[in-house]
Amino acid sequence: MIAAQAEDFVSFRATARTLLAAGIPPDQVAWGDSLFASNVDLPNQANPVAVPRDFLALAELVALHRDSVKWPLLYRVLYRLTHGERDLLKVDVDDDVRALLLMEKALRRDMHKMTAFVRFRRVRDAEPEYFVAWHRPEHYIVERMAPWFRNRFGSFRWSILTPDKSAHWDLENLTFGPGVPRSDAPDEDALEDLWRDYYRSIFNPARVKFKAMKAEMPVRHWATLPETQIIPSLLLEAEGRVLKMAKEQKGSAAAYVPDVRELAMLQAAARGCKGCDLYAHATQVVFGEGPSDAAVVMVGEQPGDEEDQKGHPFVGPAGRLLNKAMNEAGLDREKIYVTNAVKHFKFIERGKRRIHAKATGIEISACRPWLEAELMTLQPQLVVCLGATAAQSLMGRDFRITTERAKFFPHRWAKELVATIHPSAVLRMPERFDEEYALLVRDLTIIAERVKELEKTS
């Protein structure tokens, strides 16, 4: 067994070349703190080894990862590349390649976080003027990222302090020193008021996703980010600010939604809605229908041609197919409130036919106050979204029916939310009708079982 050492990409490259020249396979190398074992004869000079350029670029980045498993992993991939697997890096399902790519992804994310979260503070009484920032990266990226900060903030003197290493710019030279603790960073200064004012101005309460916020802005960085000090108060104000924005927003139904929340009053008020341009072309508004004490609400995309003419939701071909599937799954339509994310029919005229046209994001957003008013009034146990439009209207644009169908999620407007395909989508796939219809019934059967469970606990 050969003991090998690497501290950075340069030393790894030299060591790996020597090992390859000696023909030593990865399972015969132990990467650790000591140098080569003295009982093994290695060549004095390693012959050049042809290595793919894309591997060298990848290895140079992965060498910055904090996990020491990177060295045996890199050598194992390098050995395979130079022993008959020249196109190995193209096989992203390979375990070794996937591990390298995950490390690369983590490093690029960490590098992005550094550009986003470093905040310079002025050092008091420093002459000439000097700025210092403290940051705690996940990996050893300071030297890699320092040139970016030099190019971006090259007009003033600064230091970036981290636990591992520090970078310093004096307007002429970029140098590096040892790491320092957080206590060595300067205290708050007047620049932080500017950061807070800027963050308050760009904070959009309508797009608050606290879990996603913490993923993009990890809590461990909050101590060095002045704007995070006002996040709790902004979150407390978010709902009120959303309502205010909605009332002031042009192209929104918010101004037409009455303050008194009763289904009959909502339905009556919706007839006069001009929150978007769809009202001007549709025959009439098609509001939700069903019992006022419904524990389950089904939400589709928008009414179709037959619904638009009759003024009732889910009475056309898709609605009849839904009734059939619900009956097979054991769901009682009479106990369920049915509605749509958009209340007016959007269509394209082709001769005497009116062909369904997908609602835009602006139209869905404009109509959302009606859907939220319905859900706030009903307070259902379960919301069933039929199709991507309804699901994304309530769960955000990133929600995908293909991967999340028949899965249950907690939600602000109900105890749980679940999504499945819209019955109209089944009708649009005649060549796969039986298969897709069976999947719809399967999903509705799962939902029916959940409804029974919720009824027992309510």
Q: What is the tens place of the pLDDT at every residue in 33-46?
A: 444 443 344 555 55
The answer to whether residue 177 scores a pLDDT higher than 80 is yes
pLDDT band (50, 70, 90) for residue 180: confident
The candidate with the shortest Cα–Cα distance to 253, out of 275, 220, 278, is 275
Mean pLDDT of the chain: 84
pLDDT of residue 195: 46
The answer to whether residue 6 scores a pLDDT higher than 60 is yes
Domain span at residue 157 reads 118-184
Q: Do 332 and 410 fall within a single domain?
A: yes
How far apart, in whole angstroms, are the C-alpha atoms of residue 33 and residue 31? 7
β-pairing verdict for 336-340 and 353-356 = unpaired
The answer to whether residue 191 scores a pLDDT higher than 60 is no
Q: Do 359 and 243 fall within a single domain?
A: no
Q: Do 304 and 402 fall within a single domain?
A: yes
pLDDT band (50, 70, 90) for residue 185: low
Q: Do 132 and 101 fall within a single domain?
A: no
The answer to whether residue 4 scores a pLDDT higher than 60 is yes
Q: Do 267 and 343 fall within a single domain?
A: yes
The answer to whether residue 189 scores a pLDDT higher than 60 is no
Q: Can you tell me the mean pLDDT for 236-257?
A: 64
Say how far residue 157 (Cα) sits from the centre of its chain: 36
pLDDT digits (tens, 9 = 90+) for 84-122: 999 999 998 899 999 999 999 999 999 998 998 888 887
The answer to whether residue 251 scores a pLDDT higher than 90 is no
pLDDT of residue 234: 57
pLDDT digits (tens, 9 = 90+) for 318-357: 999 999 999 999 999 999 999 999 999 999 988 889 999 9
Q: Do 233 and 363 fall within a single domain?
A: no
Q: Do 259 and 238 fall within a single domain?
A: no
Q: Do 350 and 415 fall within a single domain?
A: yes
Where b means 16+ CB within 10 Å and e means fewer, 1-13 reads ebebebeebeebb
Q: Do 96 and 50 fall within a single domain?
A: yes
The answer to whether residue 395 scores a pLDDT higher than 60 is yes
pLDDT of residue 37: 40
How far apart, in whole angstroms, are the C-alpha atoms of residue 342 and residue 344? 6
Q: Can you tell me the mean pLDDT for 162-190?
A: 80
pLDDT of residue 270: 94
pLDDT digits (tens, 9 = 90+) for 195-205: 445 445 545 55
pLDDT of residue 313: 97
pLDDT of residue 124: 72
Which of the two residues, 74 and 243, has the higher pLDDT score?
74
Of 166, 184, 202, the last residue of a domain is 184
The answer to whether residue 155 scores a pLDDT higher than 50 is yes
Of 61, 80, 111, the last residue of a domain is 111
Of 77, 111, 145, the last residue of a domain is 111
The answer to whether residue 421 scores a pLDDT higher than 60 is yes
Q: Do 106 and 125 fall within a single domain?
A: no
Q: Do 354 and 224 fall within a single domain?
A: no
The answer to whether residue 221 scores a pLDDT higher than 70 is no
List of residues 6+ apart from 144 with CB closer than 8 A: 61, 64, 111
pLDDT digits (tens, 9 = 90+) for 264-310: 999 999 999 999 999 999 999 999 999 999 999 999 999 999 999 99
Number of domains comprising the chain: 4
Q: Do 164 and 200 fall within a single domain?
A: no
Which of the two residues, 246 and 385, has the higher pLDDT score?
385
pLDDT of residue 34: 44
Residue 55 CB neighbours (<10 A): 18
